[in-house]
A and B are shown apart, each in its own frame.
Chain A
Amino acid sequence: AQSVSQHNHHVILSEAASLELGCNYSYGGTVNLFWYVQYPGQHLQLLLKYFSGDPLVKGIKGFEAEFIKSKFSFNLRKPSVQWSDTAEYFCAVNARNSLSYDKVIFGPGTSLSVIP
């Protein structure tokens, strides 16, 4: 069965610090990978996605993620965080086949707090 783990439950950073949130998944086949962000009081928003090609993907608001197939990892990074990045971050994966491509499995989430 597919599963997603995230390395940290809660991360606290000062503004301008660099961010890396770890994500690992378990699935032997081809996957689509996502990072979603949930700002306080708002709905889940897609931050970035990986389907194929260049394993380094760039998303909105300066975020990027690197897919390392051998490590089953899809870590999220940002070189310099801002107070407005305070949010809950979810890593997600779904198996790439015609029957279940919409069944997205989410990790437990990492709460990021950025201190001004």
Chain B
Amino acid sequence: DAGVTQSPTHLIKTRGQQVTLRCSPISGHKSVSWYQQVLGQGPQFIFQYYEKEERGRGNFPDRFSARQFPNYSSELNVNALLLGDSALYLCASSSVGQNQPQHFGDGTRLSIL
């Protein structure tokens, strides 16, 4: 079975631009979460979506938004990019119910010039 897939793998943007990152969860997984991992730090929680609804949001500005589609795939959008948005963006999926661990994708490396 395919794991969590993210696209693109790498992206270079300039300040002020907008970016959309995509994630396809493991087949059967209905929950998708997004994390930001800055170099040298642990992943920071951005959003969790379940059944197309936002279930949780981390301490990120409104420039960050996301959505989940009927097929459970998800997009993360970031507007008005700042240099500090340069990071690895990780998507994780899990199946329904408690005690289900998250499975991570390889991430999208976003570089802001």
Contacts and interface: CB of A to CB of B under 8 A. Distances in A.
Interface of A: 4, 32, 34, 36, 42-46, 49, 51, 90, 92, 96, 98-109
Interface stretch (B12-20, B37-45, B73-81): B37-45
Contacts of B44: 106
Contact of B98 (A45, A96, A109): A96
B43 A49 contact: no
Contacts of B55: 99-100, 102
A106 B56 contact: no
A77 B41 CA distance: 21
A32 B104 contact: no
A54 to B, nearest CB: 15
Interface in B75-113: 90, 92, 94, 98-107
B42 A90 contact: yes
Interface of B: 3, 31, 33, 35, 40-45, 48, 50, 55-56, 58, 90, 92, 94, 98-107
Contacts of A102: 31, 33, 48, 50, 55-56, 94, 102
A91 to B, nearest CB: 8
Nearest to A98: B98
Given A102-B31, A102-B55, A44 B43 contact: yes
Contact of A43 (B33, B40, B50, B106): B106
A100 B33 CA distance: 11
Nearest to B99: A51
